[in-house]
């Protein structure tokens, strides 16, 4: 919903005008906290089935002129994100949309732009910005001229085969070099085949062979992401299909701009999704309205027989949307309903209506009442023990969308409209649920959250928390992570915010490196109870387990993390007691730990002191250091109601 901003002279302006006014007045850095909301309005104004709104790139041009240090002085909590850009063609047009897309997600961009056609040199030279800038992402933007510019004249299909084979081998070796020596994630892309290249062949058989060769080349690029954990490949084919021409021929010929503005904007949007996922900003819950959102019609007015999600012209569009929602839910996204309706008719429709592709059991929470929707969203978040900023809210009502946007700015609002054929495009346009890799725990998440209802019923029937925990029968296993669990541990570091002692985000390669190091331990926390298995719910990351001498010799707990759905069950105390006991058994002199405060992890501030750690100092950023000297005759023991199985290992300190 577009917000109207009044200027001093009473003019009505839109979000881009507001940004321009702030920039002209020199107040854009001071008002930077307004930027994500204004950019969200610009993004919502775009065609959901097409490229990002052009005004986003225009806003990015303003934002790219900001002094980053000034923004950080005015808003010290702003999270920065570093990107190194290299490629074959002229890529100056990427900076503005990339700045805007990252700012949409509250990330302040620091960009290092490479020279024209420098990609081979930059990826080979470990002294280039790609390696030395500390980039979170290294973007290597490839276009068709990396092949066709090197072909003989005239060329034949066989020449293209040799060129693509050689180029794929080169890219593969450069990717391996970056993975071995770089620090971030390398982003490659598939390469669009231009019609002007294909039509230089006059016979259909040769064109078909060229198509096969080109698709095999792109398939080889895509496979690099499956081989390397720190390589991501953006598939440009779907973007080209929605954006139109790959380039503008005159700019391509004279300025070497091989990708047009619309394609670069769509590419920047995909990079923004990836950056958000790398920083743990992936959304976890999709909350949907019902009337004119999941079905055609208004249940309260039309009755069950008057609504449709199949059998009618418009109803089929709603049915397709339901199937898309169900597809998302099958991959670990929690589904919930927030509707202004009476609850029993809603339940009857979700249970019995023949048109419904979604049933009541597909949702972890169905809320239907006449309370304000922002209040209902807060209650759903509390019931799921999740932050409301992990929610995406989809509704066809401008009023409801505006209410949630103003009241709960952390919620991603998907404004649907009267055209149900575009519901899917609007929901999927911003990749709110994108992750690097799907785990088995993701697929089981909805089932695990549904069992929370039974746990809450047990807690409400118990006379005390101790009685509830005793009847719950909590079982905990703490042991070194297994290879197939590394992706899940990485995901826990990326997505866990409340029980995260340092909020350090680790990619799979980082977890693997600590796991395989001579002095590191990655301990996976798995839990279950009488209602079922919760799977891998957390981790303890330990380093220095073989350290000798020095003022801080001993074991160092680099971080401890636990899923919010298993809070307050004694799991964290059980695991810490096991780590302390193992450290003393291994001869460690002490165990050290840190707590770095964030807006969301204040609940765990006193965890270490409660387990006998003494505070040893506090740094300028608020990070508190702790030490447990292991000298107590009686170390903390697991709570009596927790059955713990621990295999921490016995390494010498």
pLDDT tens digit sequence for 285-307: 999 999 999 999 999 888 988 88
What is the pLDDT at residue 8? 43
What is the pLDDT at residue 84? 95
Task: Tell me if 35 is assigned to some domain.
Answer: no
Going edge to edge, which strands form the sheet with 591-595? 614-618, 624-628, 591-595, 555-562, 532-543, 520-529, 474-480, 642-646
Task: Tell me if 38 is assigned to some domain.
Answer: no
- Binned at pLDDT 50, 70 and 90, residue 653 comes out as very low
- The mean pLDDT of 417-421, rounded to a whole number, is 91
% of residues, the chain, pLDDT over 70: 94
Q: Which of 242-246, 301-305, 438-442, 482-486 has the lowest mean pLDDT?
A: 438-442
- Binned at pLDDT 50, 70 and 90, residue 2 comes out as very low
Largest CA distance in the chain: 86
User: pLDDT tens digit string along 550-602?
Assistant: 445 788 888 888 887 777 778 888 888 888 888 888 888 788 888 888 877 88
If asked whether residues 453 and 556 sit together in one domain, one would say: yes
What is the pLDDT at residue 532? 76
Task: Tell me if 432 is assigned to some domain.
Answer: no
- Tally of residues, the chain: 653
If asked whether residues 481 and 369 sit together in one domain, one would say: no
* 3-class DSSP assignment, residue 361: helix
Q: Are 446 and 456 in contact (CB under 8 A)?
A: no
If asked whether residues 150 and 173 sit together in one domain, one would say: yes
Q: Which of 10-24, 75-89, 164-178 has the lowest mean pLDDT?
A: 10-24
If asked whether residues 350 and 390 sit together in one domain, one would say: yes
User: pLDDT tens digit string along 601-618?
Assistant: 888 888 888 888 888 888
**Average pLDDT across the chain, whole number:** 87
* Nearest-angstrom CA–CA distance, 396 and 419: 9
Q: Is the pLDDT of residue 111 over 50?
A: yes
Task: Tell me if 23 is assigned to some domain.
Answer: no
Task: Tell me if 339 is assigned to some domain.
Answer: yes
% of residues, the chain, pLDDT over 90: 50
If asked whether residues 294 and 246 sit together in one domain, one would say: no
What is the pLDDT at residue 545? 67
Q: Is the pLDDT of residue 78 over 60?
A: yes
- Binned at pLDDT 50, 70 and 90, residue 321 comes out as very high
- Who wins on pLDDT, 488 or 472? 488
Best-predicted range by mean pLDDT among 355-364, 445-454, 456-465? 355-364
The secondary structure element, H or E, covering residue 113 is strand 107-113
* Nearest-angstrom CA–CA distance, 280 and 86: 25
If asked whether residues 595 and 455 sit together in one domain, one would say: yes
* Nearest-angstrom CA–CA distance, 500 and 412: 23
What is the pLDDT at residue 6? 40
User: pLDDT tens digit string along 454-466?
Assistant: 676 777 777 677 7
Task: Tell me if 21 is assigned to some domain.
Answer: no
Q: Which of 278, 302, 334 is the last residue of a domain?
A: 278
Quote the number of domains for the chain.
3
Q: Is the pLDDT of residue 361 over 60?
A: yes
Task: Tell me if 5 is assigned to some domain.
Answer: no
Task: Tell me if 18 is assigned to some domain.
Answer: no
If asked whether residues 416 and 512 sit together in one domain, one would say: no
For residue 156, give the CATH number of its domain: 3.40.50.1110
- Angle 384-390-394 from CA coordinates, rounded to 5°: 95
Q: Which of 363, 395, 427 is the last residue of a domain?
A: 427
* Nearest-angstrom CA–CA distance, 309 and 292: 10
What is the pLDDT at residue 59? 92
If asked whether residues 300 and 274 sit together in one domain, one would say: no
- Who wins on pLDDT, 562 or 346? 346
- Who wins on pLDDT, 473 or 627? 627
- 590: containing domain: 449-646
The residue written with tokens 């091989």 in the block is: 258
What is the pLDDT at residue 51? 80
What is the pLDDT at residue 652? 34
User: pLDDT tens digit string along 497-551?
Assistant: 788 888 888 888 888 888 888 788 888 988 888 877 778 888 888 887 655 554 4
Query: DSSP per residue over 515-571, as a string?
Result: HHSTTEEEEEEEEEETTEEEEEEEEEEEE-TT--SSTT-SEEEEEEEE-GGGTTSSH
* Nearest-angstrom CA–CA distance, 184 and 362: 37
Nearest of 424, 487, 614 to residue 230 by alpha carbon: 487
- Who wins on pLDDT, 155 or 474? 155
- Who wins on pLDDT, 238 or 487? 238
Q: Is the pLDDT of residue 12 over 60?
A: no
What is the pLDDT at residue 607? 85
If asked whether residues 228 and 328 sit together in one domain, one would say: no
What is the pLDDT at residue 383? 84
**Helix residue spans in 106-156 (DSSP H):** 119-124, 129-132, 145-148
Q: Which of 220, 253, 278 is the last residue of a domain?
A: 278
Buried residues in 406-427 as b, exposed as e (16+ CB within 10 A): eebeebbbbbbeeebebbbebb
If asked whether residues 267 and 291 sit together in one domain, one would say: no
What is the pLDDT at residue 651? 40
If asked whether residues 137 and 231 sit together in one domain, one would say: yes
For residue 610, give the CATH number of its domain: 3.40.630.30
What is the pLDDT at residue 538? 86
What is the pLDDT at residue 548? 52
If asked whether residues 381 and 471 sit together in one domain, one would say: no
- Who wins on pLDDT, 653 or 289? 289
User: pLDDT tens digit string along 188-229?
Assistant: 999 999 999 999 999 999 999 999 999 999 999 999 999 988
User: pLDDT tens digit string along 638-651?
Assistant: 888 888 888 886 44
């Amino acid at each position: 919903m577009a917000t109207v901003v009044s200027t001093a002279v009473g003019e009505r302006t839109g979000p881009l005008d507001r940004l321009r006014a702030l920039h002209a007045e020199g107040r854009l850095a001071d008002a930077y906290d307004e930027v994500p909301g204004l950019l969200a309005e610009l993004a919502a104004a775009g065609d959901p089935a097409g490229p990002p709104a052009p005004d986003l790139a225009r806003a990015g041009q303003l934002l790219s002129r900001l002094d980053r240090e000034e923004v950080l002085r005015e808003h010290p909590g702003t999270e920065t994100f570093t990107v190194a850009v290299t490629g074959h063609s002229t890529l100056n047009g990427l900076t503005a949309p990339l700045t805007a897309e990252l700012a949409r997600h509250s990330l302040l961009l620091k960009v290092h732009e490479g020279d024209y056609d420098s990609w081979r040199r930059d990826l080979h030279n470990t002294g280039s910005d790609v390696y030395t800038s500390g980039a979170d992402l290294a973007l290597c933007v490839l276009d068709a001229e990396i092949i066709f510019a090197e072909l003989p004249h005239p060329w034949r299909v066989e020449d293209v085969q040799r060129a693509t084979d050689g180029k794929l081998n080169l890219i593969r070796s450069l990717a391996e070099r970056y993975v071995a020596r770089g620090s971030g994630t390398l982003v490659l892309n598939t390469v669009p085949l231009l019609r002007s290249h294909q039509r230089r062949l006059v016979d259909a058989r040769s064109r078909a062979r060229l198509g096969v060769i080109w698709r095999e080349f792109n398939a080889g690029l895509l496979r690099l992401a499956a081989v390397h954990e720190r390589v991501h490949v953006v598939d440009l084919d779907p973007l080209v299909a929605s954006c139109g021409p790959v380039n503008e021929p005159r700019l391509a010929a004279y300025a070497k701009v091989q990708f047009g503005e619309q394609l670069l904007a769509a590419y920047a949007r995909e990079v923004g999704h990836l950056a958000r996922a790398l920083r743990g900003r992936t959304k976890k819950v999709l909350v949907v309205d019902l009337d004119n959102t999941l079905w055609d019609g208004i249940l309260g007015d039309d009755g069950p027989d008057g609504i449709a999600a199949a059998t009618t012209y418009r109803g089929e569009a709603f049915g397709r949307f339901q199937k898309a929602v169900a597809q998302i839910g099958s991959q670990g996204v929690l589904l919930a309903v927030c509707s202004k309706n009476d609850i029993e008719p809603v339940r009857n429709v979700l249970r019995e209506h023949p048109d419904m592709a979604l049933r009541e059991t597909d949702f972890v929470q169905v809320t239907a009442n006449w309370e304000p929707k922002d209040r209902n969203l807060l209650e759903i978040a509390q019931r799921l023990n999740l932050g409301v900023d992990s929610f995406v809210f989809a509704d066809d009502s401008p009023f409801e969308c505006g209410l949630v946007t103003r009241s709960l700015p952390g919620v991603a609002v998907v404004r649907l409209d009267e055209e149900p054929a575009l519901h899917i495009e609007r929901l999927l346009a911003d990749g709110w649920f994108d992750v690097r890799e799907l785990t088995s725990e993701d697929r089981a998440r909805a089932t695990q959250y549904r069992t929370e209802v039974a746990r809450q019923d047990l807690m409400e029937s118990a006379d005390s928390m101790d009685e509830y925990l005793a009847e719950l029968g909590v079982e905990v296993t703490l042991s070194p992570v297994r290879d197939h669990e590394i992706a899940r541990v990485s995901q826990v570091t990326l997505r866990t915010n409340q029980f995260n002692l340092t909020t350090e985000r680790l990619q799979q390669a980082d977890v693997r490196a600590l796991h395989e190091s001579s002095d590191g331990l990655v301990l996976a926390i798995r839990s279950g109870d009488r209602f079922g298995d919760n799977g891998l719910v957390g981790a303890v990351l330990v380093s220095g387990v073989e350290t000798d001498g020095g003022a801080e010799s001993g074991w160092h707990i680099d971080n401890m993390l636990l899923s919010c759905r298993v809070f307050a069950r004694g799991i964290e105390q059980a695991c810490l007691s096991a780590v302390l006991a193992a450290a003393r058994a291994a001869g460690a002199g002490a165990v050290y730990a840190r707590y770095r405060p964030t807006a969301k992890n204040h609940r765990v501030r006193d965890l270490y002191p409660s387990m006998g750690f003494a505070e040893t100092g506090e740094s300028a950023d608020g990070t508190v250091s702790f030490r447990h000297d292991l000298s107590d005759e009686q170390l903390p023991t697991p709570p009596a109601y927790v059955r713990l199985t621990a295999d921490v290992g016995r390494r010498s300190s």
